[in-house]
């Protein structure tokens, strides 16, 4: 979904008094070399520590030469060059023994690289390991990014038993315009006794409390130190391909530690059309602070003006929320850009038990009555015929399997550009989970979860014994290696992970899209213009459809996919494709666009 969005800025002119947050450690990288009183440079490939490839099958050899301080910033540079039996070099620095802390605000302002295989990180590790080696004594990832998704960062804590029984909890922050490589952003955590909060540009996007460990130790109660590094390749980001350009760099403006927390803003950055009663608040304000709010035209503050928390009703347009506050410490303004979603309308009926279905029944572990009488025609659903499904109470993960051919790309559903809705009537308890799982049947087999499970969507019931309309909201991608364009099965799990024997009536299982796109069509198989062709090293892609590209694949004459690129900013990465690594021969390019249309072209590699 296109949100015209994302700015969270702190505009500040401040005066500091006693009792206000103080900087207790910082590096502004103003010199011409790394300050070795604050940092250590780690070298090698991890083998000397017993973790070759740094425990993640990474491809880089860390060396001092890849650290540069100039023009007021630190540059950690990744290069394609062979050192120490590795094909790439990069750098990793730590503050261990020179900067170690327990609790406070920890932040860096930096700009990331992009490209498949790039893995920049700003993180913290235990300095003394009082509870044992990794991850027993904890790890805090303030910011991680994988280069194939340059508009999304992740904040994570690691804990639990030694690998492979280690555990983690993570949250993500997504830009809706641009990438983290476009400009500097501030990444921070606020860390106190039993809670850690993750912040991007003074917006709190995630909070983890001690109960998240689920009975494992919460090890975040002692000194930790900083690490800044740029890895190349690895289990998570994948490995560089022909589209990855070198050298790459992570550029850091500053790193700071505060002894207390700074004011931040909380609230919904994404709201539905005509959303009501949406709360926004400024946190960490000193006593005696005054706050004045303003909202965009069309929005209305219905409660809280003059306090640290307001409630807002929205209409059709988003815009800036501004919280100007005066405190004993400073006079600041926090700005948050809010995006309002478009109106969604029905685009395609998957199954309504009245019209021809776009789903084909395959199998189930419970009992399906395909055209049952509606138990309550006076409610939300007045249809005569509906589906009736009774769970098999002996199955924790009872499944209803449909074959489907109309889901040619799950990307728009994952990105919230399209949505699934379903009507439900059940005798199951309120709060019962309903899952939709989209799969590739050629990869998913009983007992091999999560292989082949491309994406999952969830809803929870809010009523019992009456109809309700539910949106199935994107949950996760259990198997990111299952291509979004290869889904041929839709699995419904009613009351997943329970032994309920409840009956679920369902109907109007639909796909919705923004109103302006419903009924619109884009040409299929529009050509892409490629030059030079034939080519030996690279090709350029051009054409009117280029800005709309969602994914790209190269197929050889044996039908094998030899290259693929799938991310939200693919159009930025593929205007030039590097092909030196490919064998000579004829190749087919298949491009899928955000609206589901397809473009193809061919070229010859010589």
Secondary structure of residue 105 in the 3-state scheme: strand
- Separation of alpha carbons 318 and 320, rounded Å: 7
Cα distances (Å, whole numbers) of residue 493 to 397, 439, 458? 7, 13, 10
| Partners of 80 in the β-ladder | 88
Identified catalytic residue from 107, 144, 190, 458 = 144
Alpha-carbon distance of 316 to 444, in angstroms, equals 42
CB neighbours of 90 closer than 8 A, spacing ≥ 6? Answer: 60, 61, 62, 66, 76, 77, 78, 79, 229, 230, 231, 232
Count of other CB atoms within 10 angstroms of residue 69: 17
Give the tokens for residue 355.
Answer: 């019209």
- Whether 461 and 455 have beta carbons less than 8 Å apart is answered as no
Q: Report the C-alpha gap between 503 and 500 in whole angstroms.
A: 9
Among candidate residues 37, 253, 222, 229, the one with its CA nearest the CA of residue 142: 229
Give the residue from 511, 504, 508 showing the smallest Cα distance to 364: 504
Cβ pair 372, 384 in contact under 8 A: no
Collapsing DSSP to helix, strand or coil, 571 comes out as helix
On the 0-12 / 13-18 / 19+ scale of CB atoms within 10 A, 431 is exposed
Nearest alpha carbon to residue 550 among 562, 566, 573, 563? 566
144 catalytically annotated: yes
Instruction: Clarify whether 417 is annotated catalytic.
Output: no
In the set 58, 68, 107, 139, the catalytic residue is: 139
Nearest-Å Rg of the Cα atoms of the chain is: 26
Give strand ranges (E) for 185-299.
185-192, 195-200, 203-209, 224-232, 248-258, 264-267, 270-271, 278-283, 290-294
Q: Which residue has the tokens 């990111």?
A: 480
Q: Which residues share a beta bridge with 307?
A: none
Q: 303 has which bridge partners?
A: 311
Q: Which residues are catalytic?
A: 139, 144
């Amino acid at each position: 979904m296109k949100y015209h969005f994302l700015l969270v800025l702190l505009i500040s002119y401040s005066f500091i008094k006693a009792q206000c947050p103080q900087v207790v450690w910082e590096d502004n990288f103003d010199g011409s070399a790394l300050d070795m009183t604050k940092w250590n440079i780690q070298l090698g490939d991890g083998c000397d520590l017993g973790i070759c490839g740094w425990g993640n099958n990474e491809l880089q050899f860390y060396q001092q030469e890849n650290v540069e301080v100039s023009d007021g910033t630190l540059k950690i540079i990744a290069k394609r060059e062979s050192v120490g039996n590795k094909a790439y070099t990069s750098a990793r620095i730590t503050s261990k023994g020179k900067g170690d802390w327990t609790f406070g605000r920890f932040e860096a302002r930096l700009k990331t690289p992009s490209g498949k295989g790039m893995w920049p990180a700003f993180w913290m590790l235990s300095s003394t390991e009082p509870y044992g080696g990794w991850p027993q004594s904890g790890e805090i990832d303030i910011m991680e990014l994988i280069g194939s998704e340059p508009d999304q960062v992740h904040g994570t804590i690691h804990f639990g038993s030694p690998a492979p029984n280690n555990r983690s909890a993570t949250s993500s922050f997504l830009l809706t315009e641009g990438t983290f490589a476009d400009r500097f952003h501030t990444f921070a955590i606020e860390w106190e006794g039993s809670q850690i909060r993750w912040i991007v540009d003074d917006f709190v996007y995630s909070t983890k409390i001690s109960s998240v460990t689920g009975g494992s130790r919460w090890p975040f109660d002692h000194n930790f130190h900083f690490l800044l590094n740029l890895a190349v390749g690895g289990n998570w980001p994948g490995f560089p391909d022909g589209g990855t350009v070198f050298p790459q760099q992570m550029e850091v403006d500053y790193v700071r530690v505060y002894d207390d927390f700074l004011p931040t803003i909380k609230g919904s950055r994404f709201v539905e059309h005509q959303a009501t009663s949406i709360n926004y608040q400024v946190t960490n304000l000193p006593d005696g602070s005054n706050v004045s709010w303003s909202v965009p035209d069309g929005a209305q503050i219905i409660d809280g003006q003059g306090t640290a928390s307001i409630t807002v009703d929205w209409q059709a347009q988003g815009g800036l929320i501004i919280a100007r506050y005066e405190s004993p410490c400073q006079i600041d303004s926090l700005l948050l850009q809010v995006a309002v979603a478009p109106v969604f309308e029905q685009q395609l009926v998957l199954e309504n038990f009245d019209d021809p279905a776009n789903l084909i029944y395959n199998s189930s572990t419970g009992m399906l009555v395909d055209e049952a009488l509606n138990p309550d025609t006076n409610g939300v659903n007045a249809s005569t015929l509906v589906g009736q499904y009774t769970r098999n109470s002996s199955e924790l993960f009872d499944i209803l399997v449909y074959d489907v051919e109309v889901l040619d790309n799950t990307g728009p559903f994952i990105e919230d550009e399209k949505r699934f809705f379903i009507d439900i009537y059940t005798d199951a308890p309120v709060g019962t989970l309903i899952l939709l799982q989209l799969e590739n049947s050629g990869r998913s087999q009983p007992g091999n979860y999560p292989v082949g499970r491309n994406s999952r969507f969830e809803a929870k019931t809010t009523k019992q014994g009456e109809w309700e309309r539910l949106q199935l909201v994107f949950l996760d991608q259990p198997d990111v290696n299952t291509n979004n364009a290869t889904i041929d099965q839709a699995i419904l799990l009613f009351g997943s992970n329970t032994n309920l024997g409840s009956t679920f009536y369902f109907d109007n299982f639909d796909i919705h899209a923004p109103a302006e796109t419903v009924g619109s069509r884009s040409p299929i198989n529009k050509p892409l213009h490629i030059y030079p062709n034939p080519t030996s090293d690279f090709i350029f892609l051009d054409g009117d459809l280029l800005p709309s590209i969602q994914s790209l694949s190269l197929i050889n004459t044996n039908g094998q996919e030899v290259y693929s690129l799938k991310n939200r900013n693919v159009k930025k990465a593929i205007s030039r494709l590097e092909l030196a690594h490919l064998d000579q021969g004829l190749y087919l390019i298949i491009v899928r666009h955000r609206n589901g249309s397809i473009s193809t072209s061919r070229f010859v590699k010589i």
